[in-house]
Amino acid sequence: MKKIKVLAMALICAVFSPVKADEGMWLLQLMQEQNLADRMKAQGMKMDVTDIYSADKVTLKDAVGIFGRGCTGEIISPNGLILTNHHCGYDAIQQHSSVDHDYLTNGFWAKSYQEELPTPGLTFKFVERIVDVTDLVNEDIKKKKVTEAESFGTKYLKELADKQLKKSDLKGKPGISALALPFYAGNKYYLFFIKTYSDVRMVAAPPSSIGKFGGETDNWMWPRHTCDFSMFRIYADKDGNPTEEYKETNVPLKVKKYLTISLKGLQEGDYAMIMGFPGSTSRYLTESEVRLRMDGTNIPRITVREARLGVLRKEMAASDKIRIQYASKFASSSNYWKNSIGMNKAIVDNKVLDAKAEQEMKFLEFAEKKQNEDYKAVVSKINDYVARIAPLQAQMTYFSETFRSGIEFAGYTAVNSSVEALAKALDKNKKKDIEKALDGLKETYAEIHNKDYDHEVDRKVAKILIPLYMASVPADALPAFYGTIKDEFKGDFNAYIDALYNNTIFANEKNFNAFMANPTVEALEKDLAVQYAETVGNKYGEIAGRIEKASGDIDLLHKTYVRGLCEMYAPTPKAPDANFTIRLTYGNVKSYDPKDGIHYKYYTTLKGVMEKEDPKNPEFVVPEKLKELYAAKNYGRYALPNGEMPACFLTTNDITGGNSGSPVMNGNGELIGAAFDGNWESLSGDINFDNNLQRCIAVDIRYVLFIVEKLGGCKNLIDEMTIVE
């Protein structure tokens, strides 16, 4: 307990001093304890920190939430209107699109509530309350209700969250759930009460030629000209309570907080603040763990995704149907394919390994001075872990990229579960159980052959990835179906894959119906797809088991190392790694110089869109209506003082994946843009923040509103916002 108290002092004790860096994805609940207000005000914040977050009143926190499964969104009107990124809304836009209603290509604009589209499966989540439960966890460890290692685990943390929810005044309230998570590698624990709204409707989305302008080419790059936004709306019952799904009687939610929008513009050096849900960072890794990330995760990911994306590019270019089906999958896959390439390059260019090595030397000196034996030994023990885990990590990444997110047919989790249930029911020969199991098998077939799946495209992907996996891993990492290819198909991958995709139970409706008419255990056992799924599942379990065994007490080692680093850097506060919980980052609008002789201005304009236009390249097509507006300079009140139309801008805020869609706010807490990307030169930032190069790329709110009003014709949306000029 004494060590934990020391850590608490290290985390929250800080003296004010001007700082150059804007590093830090700060916990709202620790802002006052860590004395961040002085730092934020020194950089231009004009509001009181208690108006950003307070446990006792409505604050800016209540206007920001989790959009969907991995983005941030903010409320921009009293009627539950959400602003997020176009790429965050991409799944929903694609879900509503078809060849006849191609909202991806043409955009979507609702001129009334009645035109807004229900989007099944889409949610918006608010953080209702944050509670420190560190003492509860430590007490459970002390009383041996849980081991220190188990305190990191999902099982224990879920039980803790459920128990606290039952004791809370929020128990039984519609849409409320609780989530407990470790911070600072398990040195602190917080409980989040979440309110989930499940009736979220699509309101507005620009054409992809605007919302995704620049595509893969411009992704992670500056200068940028992407109007990366979409709009949705939260619906609730008449009392403002969440419902579990769409209901015709639901009405737009009357929110307790929404953001005022500023058209005042921005200048270099202006204060910028971002609140959102960054997904994952790894700032406390050792040098050896950074190398593990490069070789064990990034290189395998790049290799497999590059191969799969090559297939998808060709197929999507040849068919509008395939383009729409695979649009979201392609965008999701290519995003972190390019990120992994950029991260490995930036780690080298920015000398991250040298910085980590230097930190470890300082830490060892600190440990010697403190005469702390745990601190002295911890880096060496982490290095031993890396040596054990490195080959297994590469195998698991190749496996996951190939069989979990690459090849879609006969996904082993769903197939194995439904087949096992049916086999057991057939063995027992109980009619009721058989009927239930057959219904489960129908669900599995429907899950495979969903509206965004094309059997022939996936066959082509499999013909690339299955041989690639074999060439990338040792023989003991191969699922047993590779033996079938060798023995029964004479090593002919194409012949095996064609048999898999043509002749098996799940291959097509004809085969599936024939099996359903006469289901037998023998037919299941002989089926290639069932064998494929079973052997892939078995190999996953085997590799995962090896990794678990090799990992040893790595969580406890990280806990020790992070505790020591926080003590070493005290009284300067340190932020915990991101874990998709609400955070705040502060900084300034700022240009940068990536290389000798190159200067990047802090903003771009619509002129750059026209300069990049290439009608032969689908990534750089410019809609005719936008060209007409540009030619007429018809920008209304959204133009710069010199008459130009602002597009995007740069800040020094510390963001990562999950922050997409986050509000960028000025010193008064007014919305000036939406964050959507980071810059290429600093893609090592998730591991090591670079004071000089790290930049957040945001779309200017004036560009968003210009597109909504002038191109989309949605004055109705503009009128429900609160705008200051």
Comparing CA positions, the residue from 256, 347, 331 lying closest to residue 680 is 347
Comparing CA positions, the residue from 200, 152, 202 lying closest to residue 180 is 152
Contacts of 118 (CB under 8 A, 6+ apart): 199, 201, 246
Catalytic, out of 77, 86, 87, 270: 87
- Any catalytic annotation for residue 280? no
Torsion of CA 494, 497, 498, 500, to 10 degrees: 160
What CA–CA distance (Å, rounded) separates 179 from 168? 13
SS3 690: coil
- Any catalytic annotation for residue 87? yes
Handedness of CA 134, 140, 143, 147 (dihedral sign): negative
Comparing CA positions, the residue from 509, 541, 506, 510 lying closest to residue 422 is 506
Beta strands in 159-236 (DSSP E): 176-183, 188-197, 199-205, 230-236
- Any catalytic annotation for residue 91? no
Catalytic, out of 262, 334, 418, 660: 660
Q: How many CB atoms lie within 10 A of CB 371?
A: 8
What CA–CA distance (Å, rounded) separates 495 from 202? 44
Q: Look at strands 188-197 and 124-132 and give their pairing.
A: antiparallel
Torsion of CA 400, 405, 410, 414, to 10 degrees: 80
Distances (CA, A) of 562 to 11, 559, 568, 724: 11, 5, 10, 44
What CA–CA distance (Å, rounded) separates 254 from 258? 10
Is cis: bond before 207, omega within 30 of 0? Answer: no
Q: Identify the bridge partners of residue 648 per DSSP, sorted by sequence position.
A: 699
What CA–CA distance (Å, rounded) separates 530 from 418? 10
What CA–CA distance (Å, rounded) separates 245 from 701? 31
Angle in degrees, CA 629, 630, 632, rounded to 5: 65
What CA–CA distance (Å, rounded) separates 264 from 625? 26
Angle in degrees, CA 628, 633, 637, rounded to 5: 125
CA atoms within 13 A on the CB side of 232: 31
What CA–CA distance (Å, rounded) separates 467 from 493? 7
Residues taking part in catalysis: 87, 228, 660
